Amino acid sequence: MDMRERIATALKDAMKMKEQERLSTLRLINAAIKDREIALRGTGDGGSVGDAEVLAILGKMVKQRQESARAFEEGGRLELAEKEIGEARVIEEFLPRQLSAEEVSEAIDKAIAKVGASSIRDMGRVMGELKAKYTGQMDFGAVGPMVKDKLG
């Protein structure tokens, strides 16, 4: 079952169970995927979004929710922070397990070896390799500096 089918099934289940918070989050996920499809139509790619792209969208959505929750907590709006955290949890259900720090380091080493990277100029190729294999399993914002350290 691909990601879109899993999300559609979860949406139907949430409707049946009358889980309003979960239902609204699942609808947000579908809307984000549809937005991406519409954006792709203009590029001539046919407008279809694959599992890797859905994972990237979900990862971005989780990160947005976490940042919003932090901002709400700092502003003393705990009820809004809780809502954002709840949405992030629903979205995370569709993401693969996050890699541990050791697994991330090992994956970086393998990617460096595979592309034959020897200097910081090869960082883009290493990051491309990691994104192709580990989308949704690691935070690429944190991985970038780690790759830079290993190459530099």
What radius of gyration do the chain's Cα atoms show?
A: 18
CATH number at residue 137: 1.10.10.410
* Domain match, 142 and 69 both: no
How far the first Cα of the chain sits from its last, in Å, is 41
Q: Which domain holds residue 39?
A: 3-92
Position 41 scores a pLDDT of 83
* Domain match, 79 and 116 both: no
Tokens 């690429």 belong to residue: 140
DSSP string, 84-131: HHHHHHHHHTTSPPPPPHHHHHHHHHHHHHHHT--SGGGHHHHHHHHH
* Domain match, 137 and 83 both: no
Domain tally, the chain = 2
Phi-psi region of 139 (alpha: psi -120 to 50; beta: other; left: phi over 0): beta
* Domain match, 84 and 115 both: no
Final residue belonging to a domain, choices 43, 73, 92? 92
* Domain match, 56 and 34 both: yes
* Domain match, 110 and 146 both: yes
Tell me which DSSP letter residue 138 carries: S
- CB-based contact 81:73 (threshold 8 Å): yes
Tokens of 110: 């393998």
* Domain match, 39 and 80 both: yes
Tokens of 56: 């990237």
Asked whether residue 113 carries a pLDDT value surpassing 70, the answer given is yes
> Could you tell me the pTM of the whole model?
0.76
Tokens of 102: 């050791």
* Domain match, 81 and 141 both: no
Position 47 scores a pLDDT of 64
* Domain match, 46 and 86 both: yes
Residues in the chain: 152
* Domain match, 15 and 65 both: yes
**Mean pLDDT of the chain, nearest integer:** 90
CATH number at residue 86: 1.10.1510.10
Average pLDDT over residues 18-32: 96
* Domain match, 21 and 83 both: yes
* Domain match, 44 and 74 both: yes
Final residue belonging to a domain, choices 70, 92, 114? 92
Position 45 scores a pLDDT of 61
Tokens 């940042």 belong to residue: 67
Position 146 scores a pLDDT of 92
For residue 10, the one-letter residue type is: A
Indicate the pLDDT class of residue 152, thresholds 50, 70 and 90: confident
pLDDT digits (tens, 9 = 90+) for 41-78: 877 666 678 888 898 899 899 999 999 999 999 999 99
- CB-based contact 151:126 (threshold 8 Å): yes
